[in-house]
Chain A
Amino acid sequence: MILFVQTLGWIFRPPLQGREILKQMEEVGVRSFPVVVITAGFTGMVLALQSFTGFKRFGAETMVGTIVALSMTRELGPVLTGLMVSGRMGSAMAAELGTMRVTEQIDALYTLATNPIKYLIVPRFLATLIMLPILVIFADVIGILGGYLVSVQILGTNPTLYFRRTWDFLELIDLYSGLLKAVFFGMILATISCYQGFSTQGGAEGVGRATTKAVVLSSLTILIFNYFITAFLF
């Protein structure tokens, strides 16, 4: 929590570490892209199958498109992206910063008159904050396409009808609420993971512990916050 406040404080102090931010944006955004695509695609697909089974029982099969779109944008897009990026980047951040801590590289930064919060944490924080919503937009689109593919190709739904059901009931607030979640999740996972890495103690074993804690704590915090953000926007 203290780290979060310090990080916010350092964000607005020049010079901005442009080079580091870009490097982290590539790491968080571009390299996580395949993972997010596969997760979202298959989730959209399975969502179509499952909701079709349910809706068929009361003859509402045409609503599959709506339910896939709403679930993806409001809920599964941000939550699954948040969890996958926690697993991928949270662990990487904690392991990298943890190793830097135990090999005295963080001390070395101080001795070179460079604040490690500004140099190491702010770029990771900003990169996650910017890239997570972008990843969520891709996840939403790909999830909806996945649902479309299964519905049209396997379940034989009329393509035009599927898209009309998707567009007619989807509102901007659905998209916004998902993106708002993504921003929060990005802050949560970057802060927790960086904190765990930064406060690592005790050699290789400590780095392992920090990495595990980063992923577990980020994931749990994301799930808990997800409920409260949803309830707040309800």
Chain B
Amino acid sequence: MQGMESTIKIRVVHLYKSFGDKQVLRGVDLEVWQGESMVVIGGSGSGKTVLIKCIIGLIRPEQGEIRVDGLEITSLNAKEMNEVRKKFGMLFQAGALFDSMKVWENVGFGLRQQTRLSEEEIRKNASEKLALVGLKDVEDLMPSELSGGMRKRVSLARAIAMEPEILLYDEPTTGIDPIMADAINDLIVQMKEKLNVTSIAITHDIKSAYKIADRIAMLYQGKIIEVGTPEEIRNSPNPMVQQFVEGRSEGPIKIL
């Protein structure tokens, strides 16, 4: 991955966000390089989800900057933000599939909204994307008929349908069994290799993070406290990082 460091795809600078009295992000700084897979780890309530939703413009931060390909996005209006979002695809934690639509319509949603392709072409494209995530013959099922792991795959197929430059993964392995989780990890690695995307995943699954990350950043109490390769994180002298990656309940991080 060295040598690609020169191009910064996403840069987050001093990001602050609070909800009511609760300060969630307290000055997050993060750089994500072109083509790399960045994984943000952190405990529940550390602000991971808020961070990823700020990056795709679902939540507006109070202070700070987010630059995507150099363009500052926190001050954009709805229409400009819409254009920026075309660079993104996002896998939601529980899939967030449209439950009134069949699987292929879910995957083809972006194409239907933004292109003038015929229904057959959209369906064909949806089948290709589904094949890419290892699914076939599910086109005509409804989302409620799918298992948790399949929902995540369909959601991933929908996220890559418009061939985005950046993929965001919200807890990709949460809520599915370990074997399925590993299959999703493999898919994420494949996506990076096949589609050459830049990706940001948030997770508290450290095993998943080691597998999919080029670099890992740890978010704690609304700040990034450490960034490094999986190897560097594993050997980090920071006691909080150590506690998290080893999954111990005693240590500097107190459980509320």
Minimum CB–CB distance from A95 to chain B (whole Å) comes to 12
Is the CB of A158 closer than 8 A to any CB of chain B? no
Contact call B82/A113, Cβ cutoff below 8 A = yes
| Contact for B86 among A104, A107, A113, CB less than 8 A | A113
Interface-side segment among B106-114, B173-181, B207-215, B224-232: B106-114
CB-CB contacts of A94-121 with B at 8 A, as 1s and 0s?
A: 0000001001110110111111000100
Contact call B94/A112, Cβ cutoff below 8 A = no
Is the CB of B96 closer than 8 A to any CB of chain A? yes
Contact call A104/B94, Cβ cutoff below 8 A = yes
Is the CB of B78 closer than 8 A to any CB of chain A? yes
A-chain residues with CB within 8 Å of residue B98 when the two chains form the complex? 100, 105, 108
Interface residues on A, range: 10 to 19
Is the CB of B201 closer than 8 A to any CB of chain A? no
A113-B57 contact in complex given A104-B96, A105-B97, A108-B90, C-beta closer than 8 Å? no
B-chain residues with CB within 8 Å of residue A113 when the two chains form the complex? 82-83, 85-86, 110, 113-114, 162
A110-B113 contact in complex given A105-B97, A105-B98, A115-B82, C-beta closer than 8 Å? no
Minimum CB–CB distance from A204 to chain B (whole Å) comes to 14
Contact call B92/A108, Cβ cutoff below 8 A = yes
B-chain residues with CB within 8 Å of residue A112 when the two chains form the complex? 85, 109-110, 113, 158, 162
A-chain residues with CB within 8 Å of residue B86 when the two chains form the complex? 113
Contact call A111/B90, Cβ cutoff below 8 A = yes
Residue of A nearest to B159 (CB): A111
Is the CB of B56 closer than 8 A to any CB of chain A? yes
Minimum CB–CB distance from B82 to chain A (whole Å) comes to 5
A105-B110 contact in complex given A113-B82, A113-B85, C-beta closer than 8 Å? no
CB-CB contacts of B26-53 with A at 8 A, as 1s and 0s?
A: 0000000000000000000000000001
CB interface residues, B 83-107, toward A, < 8 Å: 83, 85-86, 88-90, 92-94, 96-99
Contact call B78/A107, Cβ cutoff below 8 A = no
Residue of A nearest to B86 (CB): A113
Give A105 to B85 CA distance when docked, in angstroms: 16
Is the CB of B195 closer than 8 A to any CB of chain A? no
Is the CB of B146 closer than 8 A to any CB of chain A? no
Contact call B58/A107, Cβ cutoff below 8 A = yes
A105-B99 contact in complex given A111-B89, A112-B158, C-beta closer than 8 Å? yes
Give A8 to B88 CA distance when docked, in angstroms: 28
Residue of A nearest to B88 (CB): A111
Minimum CB–CB distance from A15 to chain B (whole Å) comes to 8
Contact call B109/A107, Cβ cutoff below 8 A = no
| Contact for A110 among B58, B109, B162, CB less than 8 A | B58
Give A104 to B93 CA distance when docked, in angstroms: 9
A110-B57 contact in complex given A115-B78, A115-B82, C-beta closer than 8 Å? yes
Residue of B nearest to A112 (CB): B110
A-chain residues with CB within 8 Å of residue B90 when the two chains form the complex? 108, 111
Give A119 to B90 CA distance when docked, in angstroms: 19
Residue of A nearest to B155 (CB): A108
Contact call A108/B96, Cβ cutoff below 8 A = yes
Give A49 to B83 CA distance when docked, in angstroms: 63
List residues of chain B with CB under 8 Å of any chain A CB: 53, 56-58, 78, 82-83, 85-86, 88-90, 92-94, 96-99, 109-110, 113-114, 158-159, 162, 168
* Other 15 A-B pairs with CB < 8 A, given A107-B96, A110-B57, A112-B162: A103-B94, A104-B92, A104-B93, A105-B96, A105-B97, A107-B58, A108-B98, A110-B56, A111-B56, A112-B109, A112-B110, A112-B113, A113-B110, A113-B162, A114-B110
Some 20 contacts from A to B, beta carbons below 8 A apart, are: A100-B98, A103-B99, A104-B93, A108-B158, A110-B56, A110-B57, A110-B58, A110-B85, A111-B58, A111-B88, A111-B89, A111-B90, A111-B168, A112-B85, A112-B110, A113-B83, A114-B109, A114-B113, A115-B78, A119-B113
List residues of chain A with CB under 8 Å of any chain B CB: 100, 103-105, 107-108, 110-115, 119
